[in-house]
Amino acid sequence: MSDGERSVMEESPTMAMTLSDFDYDLPEELVAQHPVSPRDASRLLVVKDGLSDRVFRDLPGLLPSHSLIVFNDTRVFPARLEAHRQSGGRVEVFLVHPLSERKQQEDGWQEVWDVLCRPAKRLRPGEQLLLPDREIRAEVLSKTEEGSVVMRFSGPGRGDMFQVSERIGAVPLPPYIKRRAEQRDRETYQTVFARNNGAVAAPTAGLHFTEELLDQLAKIGHEFAWVTLHVGPGTFRPVQTDNLDDHVMHSERYEISEETAARIRAAKKDGRALVAVGTTVVRVLESCVGRGGLAAGSGWTDLFIRPGFQFHLVDAMVTNFHLPRSTLLMLVSAFAGRKRVLEAYRHAVENRYRFYSYGDAMLLFPG
């Protein structure tokens, strides 16, 4: 946890709420299985003084003038691989993140990764798995207390596992999308501004932006800035405890450049609104705020934002609709007010909005 993140948590007492306070009913047919086309044709529910039903391409005129819009430029890589044990059993290997830098050797390269395997129970340290690319070797090194597997990959030449996954991996669609990943998901489950490899889930609020919409936003005076947060599989893990104080947040890697930090400091000094595109951007920004202001840097954040949290930077938020009882729903409730957010969700259900990663969006202002 960074110094900025630690100070935010110390200064922000949370309210006594339980998991059931963040529940709502959602008909299964409203969970989007495919994206709309074009991206900015999705619906947009504006939560401000009241509720307003719009289309996402209306966004430029809905934001405060000359806003600074902050995006997450992480890139989703095809993290889901199919492997086989030497006995013939099938194993799904889900790449999470590298644990070591790539080592180049005379006969090739090797990397150590944290991975999820299914099934993992029978895997033993020292066991070799066979990947579809027969030149790539995968060895089980150990298992972690959290249930993941430490695995060493090696191969010829000067490649790495990001390159290997592009050849043989599948897009890691969320578990609520009840279909196999298709070739077109490599484009649609990716923002148009993705550039930094490392996410296993898309920052979905950014999926609605097109190049044309970005141009329109810039032409009327909005400014852009970029942060990186590599979304991990923990974003889909349900909260297991009813007492939120007992929940342990998953950690995710982030980076904020000095250029971005300077733009944010200038915008706040000038009194311009800061618009966060997605909960991932909110977590990065609020993790990097300390008593000395916003600091550039990189690291891991496990910041858990829930009602009672004191926001320091964000003036408006673009976000998708989130799962019941999820930490993401808790974050948007902290920003816009739990009752307002749940009222907006009820409105969205009644008006047949599309939910979750490939679904529609919200524009939230503070409650």
Q: Are 333 and 209 found together in one domain?
A: yes
CB atoms closer than 10 angstroms to residue 228: 24
CB atoms closer than 10 angstroms to residue 66: 14
E-strand ranges in the chain read 43-47, 51-55, 68-72, 74-76, 80-85, 90-98, 103-105, 108-118, 128-130, 137-143, 149-155, 196-199, 223-229, 252-256, 274-277, 289-290, 293-294, 297-301, 316-320, 361-364
CATH of the domain at 271: 3.40.1780.10
Q: How many domains does the chain have?
A: 2
Q: Are 62 and 86 found together in one domain?
A: no
Domain boundary among 110, 141, 168: 168
H runs (alpha helix) in the chain: 3-11, 59-62, 161-168, 185-188, 211-219, 258-270, 279-287, 327-336, 338-350
Inside any domain, residue 179: no
Q: Are 63 and 191 found together in one domain?
A: yes
Q: Are 348 and 313 found together in one domain?
A: yes
CATH of the domain at 163: 2.40.10.240
d(CA 46, CA 59): 10
Q: Are 295 and 216 found together in one domain?
A: yes
Inside any domain, residue 177: no
Q: Are 190 and 337 found together in one domain?
A: yes
Instruction: Give the strand pairing for 223-229 and 68-72.
Output: parallel
Q: Are 222 and 296 found together in one domain?
A: yes
Q: How far is CA 300 from the centre of its chain?
A: 14
Tokens found for residue 289: 């705020």
pLDDT score recorded for residue 107? 80
Sorted by sequence, the CB contacts under 8 Å of residue 230 that are 6+ apart come out as 74, 97, 196, 198, 199, 200, 252, 253, 254
Please name every residue paired with 277 in a beta bridge, in sequence order, or none if there are none: 318
Inside any domain, residue 173: no
Inside any domain, residue 351: yes
d(CA 312, CA 225): 17
The three-state secondary structure class of 41 is helix
Along the 367 residues of the chain, how does pLDDT read in single tens digits?
A: 333 333 333 334 445 789 999 999 999 999 999 999 999 999 999 999 999 999 999 999 999 999 999 999 999 999 999 999 988 889 999 999 999 878 887 788 999 999 999 998 889 999 999 898 878 899 999 999 888 999 999 988 888 899 999 999 999 999 999 999 999 999 999 999 999 999 999 999 999 999 999 999 999 999 999 999 999 987 777 788 888 888 888 889 999 999 999 999 999 999 999 999 999 999 999 999 876 678 899 999 999 999 999 999 999 999 999 999 999 999 999 999 999 999 999 999 999 999 999 999 999 999 7
The three-state secondary structure class of 61 is helix
pLDDT score recorded for residue 13? 45
Q: Are 265 and 349 found together in one domain?
A: yes
The three-state secondary structure class of 258 is helix
Per the document, the length of the chain is 367
Inside any domain, residue 136: yes
Give the range of the structural domain holding residue 87, as residue numbers without chain letter: 80-168
pLDDT score recorded for residue 157? 83
* Inter-residue contact 278 to 205 (CB < 8 Å): yes
pLDDT score recorded for residue 237? 75
Its pTM stands at: 0.91
Sign of CA dihedral 305, 307, 312, 318: positive
Instruction: Give the strand pairing for 149-155 and 274-277.
Output: unpaired
Inside any domain, residue 180: no
Q: Are 90 and 54 found together in one domain?
A: no
* Inter-residue contact 189 to 34 (CB < 8 Å): no
pLDDT score recorded for residue 356? 97
DSSP string of 268-295?
HHHT--EEEESHHHHHHHHHTEETTEE-
Inside any domain, residue 110: yes
Q: Are 208 and 316 found together in one domain?
A: yes
Inside any domain, residue 331: yes
Q: Are 70 and 95 found together in one domain?
A: no
Closest to 37 measured CA to CA, from 213, 180, 208, 277 = 208
Q: Are 217 and 249 found together in one domain?
A: yes
